[in-house]
Amino acid sequence: MPFHHVALATRDMKAIHEFYEAATGFPLVKVEVASTPAGGFAKHFFYDTGEGQLMAFWELHDDSMPDDFSTAISTAVGLPEWVNHLAFGARDKDDIEARATRWLSAGHDVLEIDHDWCYSIYAKDPNGTLVEFCTTTRPFDDADREQALHALESNELTRSTEPGVRVRRASEFSAS
């Protein structure tokens, strides 16, 4: 079942808008403005990520809430940035390359990883959250499922193949 939307708080909605609409290509389609329980208000901005699914951000205006909260979904709770992240589906490697080019052109560094069964690119949004586009490059088979079921019960496992990693710097990017 697809999700309807994922909602996160932000402290800089204009920077979020620049990243998600201009750099990532998700159009802003809706805003809800509502009172908060403590008497303030909030704006809830929705971006169309495709196929009926939305990404939403809260801009909070409520004196009962802290001004200095962290918006990074991993580092805010003491984890490395790669743990909690947002992963969007890409059609294929050509789609991945087009999205990488868009991020690089907008000034965002891109990390590419070939995981053997999928291929991904990553950039960090203005909230400090890692954002990924990923395409599956081979179907799952019975061995994949058996390994996953075994991992539920044991830590005695064969390590996955080290992925191929490439960092592309926006400062070195030329769209030509």
Q: Give the 3-state secondary structure of the chain.
A: CCCCEEEEEECCHHHHHHHHHHHCCCCEEEEEEEECCCCCEEEEEEEEEECCEEEEEEEEECCCCCCCCCCCCCHHHCCCCCCCEEEEECCCHHHHHHHHHHHHHCCCCEEEEECCCEEEEEEECCCCCEEEEEEECCCCCHHHHHHHHHHHHCCCCCCCCCCEEEEECHHHCCCC
Residue 33 sits in the same domain as residue 103: no
Residue 7 sits in the same domain as residue 53: yes
- Per-residue pLDDT band for 176 (boundaries 50, 70, 90) equals low
- The residues, ordered by sequence, that sit 6+ positions from 15 with a Cβ below 8 Å of its Cβ are 126
Residue 167 sits in the same domain as residue 87: yes
Establish if 9 belongs to a structural domain.
yes
Structural domain span for residue 39: 1-62
Q: What residues does 32 pair with on adjacent strands?
A: 44
Establish if 127 belongs to a structural domain.
yes
Residue 88 sits in the same domain as residue 170: yes
pLDDT at res. 65:
93
Q: 28 φ, ψ to 5°?
A: -70, 125
> What CATH number corresponds to the domain at position 118?
3.10.180
* Cα 96 from Cα 75, distance rounded (Å): 26
Tell me: pLDDT of 96 over 90. yes
Domain count, the chain: 2
Residue 89 sits in the same domain as residue 167: yes
- Among the listed residues 167, 37, 25, the one whose alpha carbon sits nearest the alpha carbon of residue 109: 167
Tell me: pLDDT of 119 over 90. yes
Residue 50 sits in the same domain as residue 128: no
Establish if 68 belongs to a structural domain.
no
> What CATH number corresponds to the domain at position 47?
3.10.180.10
Mean pLDDT of 147-153: 95
- The residues, ordered by sequence, that sit 6+ positions from 145 with a Cβ below 8 Å of its Cβ are none
* pTM recorded for the entire structure: 0.92
